[in-house]
Amino acid sequence: MSHDLDEQRILETAVLRALVPQGDRRRKFLRAVGVSSAGAALASFFPLGALTAMAQQKAKPERAELKIGFIPITCATPLIMADPLGFYREQGLKVSLIKTAGWALIRDKMLNKEHDASHFLSPMPLAISMGLGSAQQPMRVMTVQNINGQAITLHVKHKDKRDPKEWKGFRFAVPFDYSMHNFLLRYYVAEHGLDPDTDIQIRVTPPPEMVANLRAGNIDGYLGPDPFNQRAVYDEVGFIHLLSKELWNGHPCCAFGTSEAFIKENPNTFAALFRAVLSAARMAREPRNRPLIAKVISPPNYLNQPETVVEQVLTGKFADGLGNVKNVPDRADFDPFPWQSMAVWILTQMKRWGYVKGDVNYQQIAEQVFLVTDARKYMAELEMKAPASSYARVRIMGKEFDPSEPEKYLASFAVKKAV
């Protein structure tokens, strides 16, 4: 009990310090009214009880030193910037960010427990939890890292082939089978009447290798993460055909997550991580912070890219590779809320293209993997606005998706893999 009282006292002092920063005046105030009545006076107009509860919740993390894997792309902006800008430190965590060579390795290092938490493509925790393409292990999505921020980049030699109908025989790269990139590219070409499995070739290439492959002529284009779309423009080997926000404005891309086992063993660390990444996302959402963020995440330790390339991605004022300067402030954004409807959409596409067969219990899986309740809790703590609902209808290339009717949605597609 005395411990709690101490905590209350410390908190009162902190509030008092904030209200009356000058030391001598504060002491005079305390002497005049007495310490306990000062506390009572403060409590009358300050939610001290709530603040005490919050401070107690910030219990010491079970483990301070953590390894977090990431792929050097702007999708991971919040979890990367949290290191140089001190959001992890603020929560009492000492995080090593481990640059990883590709998504398969991200998966393996999470399964091996070499990494404690990780940057994921948002379909990956769903796939791993279902045992698709790996051993089955329950993975959880804490926050979505970014929305929008991807693009279809084509080789400069295809400058006049802007209609997907002319793309028969093209070779495209995507970062991973279980990626939004794969599903969005398939969706896009299918809407234009091409079968992504037979009319074009889709190959998996780690994002950092996409530009080199495009230059070598190994591929005709890619639906890939930034900064590699912008990097292709910077190196004058490619142009931006279309931003992913033109397909689905507000689509999720990458996620931040960890394993169910980690959460069970380290609840306080989990909470601290959640707060750190959400605080970073909150800062990243402000357009005026973007140039600073570009500066801190560009050095070799993180993205290892020219700062101007990263800045063009984050501010949305960019060269498109066709001679135009475009201004699209919402080219990339960092809304962390893990909509369960997004998970349902991903599952419909996994079924559409044959990655999962048989009956899928869409909502049950979505609700297990996308931790909406926790996200809401920690967002409220940080006074970030979280939507009341976990499901939302969206329009993707003009076609409505109703998350409560996934099977009906699936049946409505003309192009899909024959079962």
Partner 1 sequence: MSGKALSLAAALLSLLFLGIFLAIWHVATVPKAQSQAPVDEYAKLLGKGAKQAEGFPTLAQLGEAAAVQLTDPFYDRGANDKGIGIQLGHSLARVGAGYALAILFAVPLGFLIGMSPLLYRALNPYIQLLKPISPLAWMPIALYTIRDSSISGVFVIFICSVWPMLINTAFGVASVRRDWLNVARTLEVRPLRKAFAVILPAAAPTILTGMRISIGIAWLVIVAAEMLVGGTGIGYFVWNEWNNLNLTNVIFAILVIGVVGMVLDFLIGRLQAAVTYVE
Full DSSP string of 106-150:
HHHHHHTTSSSEEEEETHHHHHHHHTSSS----EEEEEE--EE-E
Residue with smaller CB distance to partner 1, 106 or 343: 106
Nearest to 261 by CA among 111, 100, 363: 111
DSSP label at 370? B
- Token match 């079962």: residue? 419
Residue with smaller CB distance to partner 1, 323 or 398: 323
CB of 131 to partner 1, least distance (A): 14
Residues 172, 262, 318, 339: which binds partner 1 (CB under 8 A)? 318
Q: Are 321 and 156 in contact (CB under 8 A)?
A: yes
Helix axes 2-19, 23-33, angle to 10 degrees: 120
- Collapsing DSSP to helix, strand or coil, 307 comes out as helix
What DSSP element (H or E) covers 52?
helix 48-57
Residues 40, 212, 380, 397: which binds partner 1 (CB under 8 A)? 212
Contacts of 199 (CB under 8 A, 6+ apart): 167, 168, 169, 189
Under the binding rule (CB under 8 A), the answer on residue 293 touching partner 1 is: no
Residue with smaller CB distance to partner 1, 130 or 232: 232
With the C-alpha atoms ordered 182, 187, 188, 194, is the resulting torsion angle positive or negative?
positive
How far apart CA 363 and CA 43 sit, in angstroms, is: 44
Binding mask 155-194 for partner 1 (x = CB under 8 A): ----------------------------------------
How many residues contact partner 1, by CB under 8 A?
A: 39
Binding mask 39-78 for partner 1 (x = CB under 8 A): ---------------------------------x------
Residue with smaller CB distance to partner 1, 56 or 301: 301
Residue with smaller CB distance to partner 1, 108 or 197: 108
Query: Taking CB under 8 A as the criterion, which residues in 231-260 touch partner 1?
Result: 231, 233-236
Residues 23, 300, 358, 398: which binds partner 1 (CB under 8 A)? 300
Nearest to 175 by CA among 244, 120, 233: 120
- E strand intervals along 138-237: 139-144, 147-148, 150-155, 171-174, 201-204, 221-225
Nearest to 365 by CA among 388, 386, 342, 387: 342
Residues 208, 221, 252, 406: which binds partner 1 (CB under 8 A)? 208
Residue with smaller CB distance to partner 1, 110 or 253: 110
Under the binding rule (CB under 8 A), the answer on residue 306 touching partner 1 is: yes
Give the pair of three-digit tokens for residue 191.
């809407």
Binding mask 77-96 for partner 1 (x = CB under 8 A): -------------------x
- Collapsing DSSP to helix, strand or coil, 222 comes out as strand
How far apart CA 192 and CA 199 sit, in angstroms, is: 11
Give the binding range for partner 1 (CB under 8 A) out of 162-170, 190-198, 319-327, 338-346.
319-327
Under the binding rule (CB under 8 A), the answer on residue 222 touching partner 1 is: no
Q: Are 336 and 286 in contact (CB under 8 A)?
A: no
CB of 80 to partner 1, least distance (A): 10
Query: Taking CB under 8 A as the criterion, which residues in 320-359 touch partner 1?
Result: 323-325
CB of 235 to partner 1, least distance (A): 6
How far apart CA 294 and CA 182 sit, in angstroms, is: 27
Residue with smaller CB distance to partner 1, 114 or 367: 114
Under the binding rule (CB under 8 A), the answer on residue 211 touching partner 1 is: yes
Helix residue ranges per DSSP H, 206-289: 210-216, 228-234, 260-265, 267-285
Residue with smaller CB distance to partner 1, 80 or 356: 80
Query: Taking CB under 8 A as the criterion, which residues in 97-126 touch partner 1?
Result: 97-101, 105, 108-109, 111-114
Task: List contacts with partner 1 (CB under 8 A).
Answer: 72, 96-101, 105, 108-109, 111-114, 208-209, 211-212, 231, 233-236, 299-302, 304-306, 308-309, 312, 317-319, 323-325
